[in-house]
Amino acid sequence: MQKKAILYKKLPSDLVQCTCCSHYCVIKPWESGKCSIRKNISWDLYLLNYWKILGLNIDPVEKKPLFHFLPWARVLSFWTASCNFTCSFCQNWQMSQLRKENKEYWKNFWNNYEEALEKIWDEVTPEAIVDFAAKNNIEAIAYTYNEPTIFFEFLKDVSLLAKKKWIRTIMVSNWFQTKEFCDEAKEFIDAINIDLKAWSNEFYKEICDWRIEPIKENIKRIFNETDTFVEITTLIIPWENDSNEDLENMANFIKNISADIPWHISAFHPDWKMLDKEITPLSTILKAYEIGKKVGLNYVYAGNVNVPRLETTYCPKCREELIIRSWFVWERVIDKTSWIWICPECKTKIAGCFVENWEFVTRKETLFSK
């Protein structure tokens, strides 16, 4: 089903410009932008995959990963296809790289990409997604596994319905979006995990096919101008973004916004077009973890490695263990009664949203210590 887009503007000569992500694609008539699913039809922009999803799954919120937002919640994840990046290391490439130029995915079954969009995905309405979450007492809906920015209109309709049923909404995103996107999404996105993939423009240009500056600005904007709860993830790739300088720059960038933003350091495994790299050594993960702590981040976590206590939430002042986790599963938690946590030992406030029955319109000053 085609759905008229919201974030675009008309240009002369029947051109349209998509304002959903920072590619700002200028699209000719009957062509689509870099993501392949936003198409210029008769001088209007349409989303080609509205109602079309690749799958639904119930996940722990920690898998997003979000460790300070409803830590024991179940999340209904859903995803579509395509992306606005072409990261050669993508670990969800079967979904994210299902796009027009990758014809090997669909050429043997359909005549063209639009026909593939109509046939390969299940049709699920926003109402059905939200009703399923409500009937199963699921606390949040997550847009994840491929880049949710590109299916903004579908995301928005699901989110507004979810809000009416007091269900939270979560994005997992490369955050290469626009101010126009942020201004719209801040009204209904409760939490986001942002991929900060590296520090250098060279990495983003050569490996992801774009640049880092819009992402830096967007991270500052979402934190400073909205009430959306923010956590950040970096996949550490050997010899690409694992130098001390890169790690220190990323950690300092996060700290300069807020030392309370959780930083997730994740181990790489070879995938898609980056099969020549080794798995991230544990020593590199430990180095990145220590750099984050040394720089002054209050909450640093290591993912894709099974090391005791690297997923534990500690009090940033007295180091009391507050939540002990193992592979996304919490094993011990000190308090499940208050959505604003206070360390029982030293009375330090812990950043985050910890139970589901907190006021829906959150206030940033109650989430992060100042």
Q: Where are the domains of the chain?
A: 3-48, 53-367
Among 197-211, 269-283, 338-352, the least confident range? 338-352
Among 48-62, 120-134, 259-273, 315-329, the least confident range? 315-329
CA 219 to chain CA centroid, Å, is 12
Distance CA 208, CA 84 (A): 9
- Confidence tier at 349 by pLDDT (50, 70, 90): confident
CATH superfamily of 53-367: Aldolase class I (3.20.20.70)
Provide the 3-class DSSP secondary structure of residue 365: helix
Q: For position 335, what pLDDT does the model report?
A: 58
Mean pLDDT of 14-28: 98
Q: For position 109, what pLDDT does the model report?
A: 62
Residue 358 has pLDDT above 50, yes or no: no
30 or 329, greater pLDDT: 30
Q: For position 102, what pLDDT does the model report?
A: 72
Mean pLDDT of 5-34: 97
Residue 334 CB neighbour total at 10 angstroms: 16
Distance CA 170, CA 229 (A): 9
Mean pLDDT of 294-323: 92
The mean pLDDT value of the chain amounts to 89
122-169 residue pLDDT tens: 789 999 999 999 999 999 999 999 999 999 999 999 999 999 999 999
Q: For position 264, what pLDDT does the model report?
A: 98
Task: Please list the alpha-helical segments (H only) found in 165-243.
Answer: 179-185, 201-203, 213-225
358 or 112, greater pLDDT: 112
207 or 108, greater pLDDT: 207
52-105 residue pLDDT tens: 898 899 999 999 999 999 888 899 999 998 999 999 999 888 888 887 677 766
Q: For position 370, what pLDDT does the model report?
A: 35
